[in-house]
């Protein structure tokens, strides 16, 4: 037993200089979760004047940590509640600990409550999507090991995408994500995060925006949302592995949250990643090449709420298929768009048009839709016909869809496909065939 305990102590007695380098040098009050023997905390204290507390389940390691840290708590992170005390911290460290917990997302949420508003979270999380693990799975092998990626004490497994999802659910904004030890050998992801600087404390709608390159369109889209949205909201951007600077820009925008995928997951899979994070009564599905106009969201929300059987509603636009289209449009500039949209639909006889198919370039939904209809069908790959499919399911569930004749949203149209040289016409044809096969419809 003594020998086994010594092995465990060795496992807990690692300095982790790469984590030390991420800890802010101006941090004054630090909490190291799963602190082991406190070697990391001691190195921090030697580098800067600060208070370091730690929590550790292994009693022998915790005893050793008392020599290195200011305070050490011997307890189980799965049950420990930091909010019982009045202590607050400007840096929380989760170095190789989240994967060992029963509900790591719940623990991260709890500790976020004791993080100062300008505080920082540092985390290192193993990457289960490492090429070695994938190659073993392709052979039908998944063997636990004494340590490393397949550590037998790991209870949860993460990829880059699901790490970001966990941080989003905790109200945290990832500002840095580095593959360690390298991009070619991503054994872990090292995360730096801060609290999201939201405009609204209690948002009632989540605006999901999907990006794949096209940075200038994304910036214009997000800018218009921030300027012209008049109900409490939050933004989550799901990025499909952009390579044009979009990711770096997103990491700097601390008033929005974002999720980084490692490959282009397409429309359905990409948005489903965001839908799993919905915790508001309403949500918006939005392309990154739209420009919203004044009162766009409040008007649609009022009309959506007026009918309990209506699950979703979309705006009119200059670039959209079906009866939602408005053509021609008189504006050529941003100011012209704003002026045109201000008077749009004032004389409309019907404020809302019920229609079985609404295009999801921009659409507002009640979150009830996730219970009654579910998520997007992912068979459509990069995109097209997910909205047709979803509206079909809305109808079969006994609910209604509509578009709003008082709301106009500008749409550049198919920018992601154009920017990334994707054959839109071919994809449309292939997905129409998938849609018809699924619903047993005659070929066109």
CB 276 within 8 A of CB 165: yes
Q: What is the mean pLDDT of residues 332-361?
A: 95
Residue 248 has pLDDT above 50, yes or no: yes
Whether 267 has a pLDDT exceeding 90, the answer reads yes
259 in Cβ contact with 192 (< 8 Å): no
Of all residues in the chain, the percent with pLDDT exceeding 70 is 95
User: Is a pLDDT exceeding 70 seen at residue 350?
Assistant: yes
Q: What is the 3-state secondary structure (H, E, C) of 412-433?
A: CCCHHHHHCCCCHHHHHHHHHH
| Beta-bridge mates of residue 354 | 402
Average pLDDT of span 436-442? 87
Band (5; pLDDT cuts 50, 70, 90):
very low
| Residue 422: per-residue pLDDT | 66
Q: What is the pLDDT of residue 413?
A: 87
Return the pLDDT at 428. Answer: 84
Overall average pLDDT of the 21-30 stretch: 98
Structure tokens at 44: 């921090």
CB atoms within 10 A of CB 181: 12
pLDDT at position 429, please? 87
Beta-bridge mates of residue 33: 55, 94
What pLDDT is attached to residue 68? 97
* pLDDT the model gives residue 418: 61
Q: What is the pLDDT of residues 269-316, one digit of tens each?
A: 999 999 999 999 999 999 999 999 999 999 999 999 999 999 999 999
Quote the DSSP letter at residue 340: H
Structure-model confidence comparison of residues 158 and 416, the more confident one: 158
- Please compute the mean of the pLDDT values over residues 21-36 and round it to a whole number: 97
Whole-number Å distance between alpha carbons of 113 and 252: 22
Residue 9 scores a pLDDT above 60: no
Give the distance, in angstroms, between the CA of residue 217 and the centroid of all CA atoms in the same chain.
20
Is domain 205-438 classified as CATH 3.90.550.10?
yes
* Tokens describing residue 39: 């070697």
Assess whether pLDDT exceeds 90 at residue 79: yes
2 has pLDDT over 60: no
pLDDT tens digits for range 381-414: 888 889 999 999 999 999 999 999 999 999 998 7
Closest CA to 268 of 402, 419, 130, 438: 438
pLDDT score recorded for residue 230 = 94
Least confident of 128-132, 142-146, 162-166, 379-383: 379-383
13 band by pLDDT with thresholds 50, 70 and 90: low
* Greater pLDDT, 348 or 121: 121
pLDDT band at 6 (very low <50, low <70, confident <90, very high): very low
Confidence of residue 420 (pLDDT cuts 50, 70, 90): low
* CA dihedral sign of residues 223, 366, 261, 93: positive
User: Which residues in the chain are classed under CATH 3.90.550.10?
Assistant: 205-438
User: What φ, ψ does residue 259 adopt, rounded to 5°?
Assistant: -125, 135
Give the pLDDT confidence score for residue 443 in this predicted structure. Answer: 65
User: Per the CATH hierarchy, to which homologous superfamily does domain 7-195 belong?
Assistant: Vaccinia Virus protein VP39 (3.40.50.150)
Residue 357 burial (CB count, 10 A): 18
Check residue 168 and give its pLDDT: 98
* pLDDT value at 3 more than 70: no
The rounded distance, in Å, linking the Cα atoms of 388 and 352 is 19
Which pLDDT score, from 0 to 100, does residue 431 have?
87
86 pLDDT exceeds 90?
A: no
CATH 3.40.50.150 domain extents, the chain? 7-195
């Amino acid at each position: 037993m003594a020998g086994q305990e010594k092995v465990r102590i060795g496992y807990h007695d690692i300095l982790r200089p790469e984590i030390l380098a991420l800890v802010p040098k101006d941090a004054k009050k630090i909490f190291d979760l799963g602190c082991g023997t406190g070697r990391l905390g001691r190195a921090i204290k030697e580098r800067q004047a600060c208070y370091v507390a730690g929590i550790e389940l292994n009693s022998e390691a915790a005893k050793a940590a008392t020599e290195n840290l200011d305070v050490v708590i011997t307890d189980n992170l799965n049950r420990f509640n930091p909010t019982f005390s009045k202590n607050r911290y400007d840096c929380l460290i989760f170095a190789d600990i989240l994967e060992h917990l029963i509900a790591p997302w719940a623990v991260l949420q709890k500790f976020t409550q004791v993080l100062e508003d300008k505080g920082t979270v540092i985390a290192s999380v193993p990457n289960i999507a490492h090429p070695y693990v994938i190659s073993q799975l392709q052979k039908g092998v998944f063997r636990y090991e004494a340590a490393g990626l397949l550590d037998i004490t790991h209870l949860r497994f993460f990829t880059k995408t699901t790490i970001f999802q966990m941080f989003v659910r905790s109200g945290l904004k990832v500002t840095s994500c580095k593959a360690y030890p390298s991009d070619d050998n991503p054994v872990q992801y090292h995360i730096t995060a801060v609290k999201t600087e939201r405009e609204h404390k209690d948002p009632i709608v989540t605006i999901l925006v999907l990006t794949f390159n096209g940075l200038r369109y994304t910036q214009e889209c997000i800018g218009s949302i921030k300027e012209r949205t008049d109900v409490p909201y939050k933004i989550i951007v799901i990025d499909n592995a952009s390579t044009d600077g979009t990711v770096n820009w997103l990491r700097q925008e601390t008033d929005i949250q974002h999720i980084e995928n490692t490959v282009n997951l397409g429309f359905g899979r990409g948005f489903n990643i965001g839908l799993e994070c919905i915790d508001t009564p309403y949500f918006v599905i939005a392309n990154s090449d739209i420009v919203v106009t004044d009162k766009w969201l409040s008007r649609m929300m009022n009309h959506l709420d007026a009918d309990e059987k209506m699950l979703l509603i979309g705006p009119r636009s200059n670039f959209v298929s079906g009866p939602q289209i408005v053509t021609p449009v008189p504006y050529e500039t941003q100011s012209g768009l704003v002026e045109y949209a201000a008077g749009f639909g004032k004389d409309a006889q019907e404020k809302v048009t019920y229609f079985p198919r609404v295009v999801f370039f921009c659409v507002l939904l009640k979150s009830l839709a996730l219970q009654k209809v579910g998520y997007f069908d992912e068979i459509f790959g990069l995109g097209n016909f997910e909205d047709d499919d979803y509206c079909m399911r809305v109808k079969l569930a006994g609910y209604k869809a509509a578009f709003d004749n008082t709301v106009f949203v500008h749409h550049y149209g198919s920018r992601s496909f154009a920017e990334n040289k994707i054959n839109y016409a071919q994809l449309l044809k292939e997905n129409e065939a998938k849609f018809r096969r699924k619903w047993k419809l005659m070929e066109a």
